[in-house]
Each structure stands twice: as C-alpha cells, then as structure tokens.
C-alpha cells in the first residue's frame, strides 16, 4: 500500500516508470533498500531478472551481496519498473541502473548471480546473453573448480 502511494505521488510516473534514488543498504545479492529522491521515502527493491545465491550458499551468496554493494551502495541509481505492484515480501521489482550500467546484467556477466527469465521482461535477452558469456568464461558461479551445484530455488526448497 505504501509503495503504491509512493509512486502515485512521484512525477513522470505515467511517462517513463523511471525514478531516481540512492541505495541505502544491500540486503542480499538481489535485494536493496532505496531512498527515493522525489519523496525521500524508502522501499525495498528486488532486482528484476536475477536470482542470487542464498546467503547460506557459501561462498556465492556473500560474494554476490558484496559485489552488489561495490556497485551501488551510497550511489545514485535509476529505478525502472515494469509493474508498480509489490511482491509477497512487500518488495518492489525493478531494474536498477547506476549511471549507464544495468546492474543485473553486470552481476550476471560476472557470474555472481543467475539470469531469471521465469517472468520475461524487457532485458531478458540481454541477461541470457550475459549468462552465456559468464558460463563460457567460467566466471564466478560457473567456475568449474567451485561451481554453484544447486540453483537458489533448489537450495531453499531443500532446507525448508
């Protein structure tokens, strides 16, 4: 409810679905807390199109979180939304840009996270290509000596 109010009061909502803010905290390899420039309100944002290793999946979960911190903490970002509804965890799903860098693409390309195209979006092809590059290069979770053996969903389903 709060997120809907936040965006209803934001300028240019109908034109672009693009907002600006500053990253206050990184909660995981795919979730951040943003303070919006227009309203000074905060929201938890799940980065669209990626699936980060669970923080308990050592060492990949912490590596993904730390890399995301390096890329965005304290920096101004643009928040691009395909949908203004929050998910079941009260997170906004959005693409995050830092300057001209699509953060999800960077994380996938470096092998920090998996591309998640379960719900196709405007950058699905870009993320698939970035993942194929990381896989071929053996980066991060694709490193043959220390590969991620279970997807985050597989891991979480086994610990429930």
Q: Is 40 exposed, middle or buried (0-12, 13-18, 19+ CB in 10 A)?
A: exposed
Q: What is the mean pLDDT of the chain?
A: 89
What is the sign, positive or negative, of the torsion defined by CA atoms of 57, 60, 66, 71?
Answer: negative
Each residue of 110-140: pLDDT tens digit?
999 999 988 888 999 999 999 999 999 999 9
Longest pairwise C-alpha distance within the chain: 50
* Cα distance between residue 83 and residue 93, in whole Å: 7
Q: Which domains does the chain have, with CATH numbers?
A: 2-159 (2.40.50.90)
Task: Give the pTM.
Answer: 0.87
Q: Is 117 within 8 Å of 90 (Cβ atoms)?
A: no
């Amino acid at each position: 409810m709060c997120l809907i109010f936040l965006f209803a009061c934001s300028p240019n909502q109908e034109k672009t679905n693009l907002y600006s803010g500053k990253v206050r905290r990184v909660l995981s390899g795919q979730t951040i807390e943003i303070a919006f420039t227009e309203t000074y309100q905060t929201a938890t944002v799940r980065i669209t199109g990626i699936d980060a290793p669970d923080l308990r999946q050592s060492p990949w979960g912490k590596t993904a979180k730390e890399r995301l911190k390096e890329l965005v903490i304290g920096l101004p970002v643009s928040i691009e939304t395909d949908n203004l509804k929050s998910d079941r965890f009260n997170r906004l799903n959005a693409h995050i840009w830092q300057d001209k860098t699509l953060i999800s693409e960077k994380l996938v390309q470096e092998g920090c996270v998996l591309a998640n195209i379960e719900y196709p979006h405007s950058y699905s092809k870009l993320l698939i290509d970035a993942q194929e590059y990381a896989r071929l290069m053996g980066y991060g979770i694709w490193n043959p000596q220390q590969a991620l053996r279970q997807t985050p969903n597989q891991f979480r389903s086994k610990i429930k």
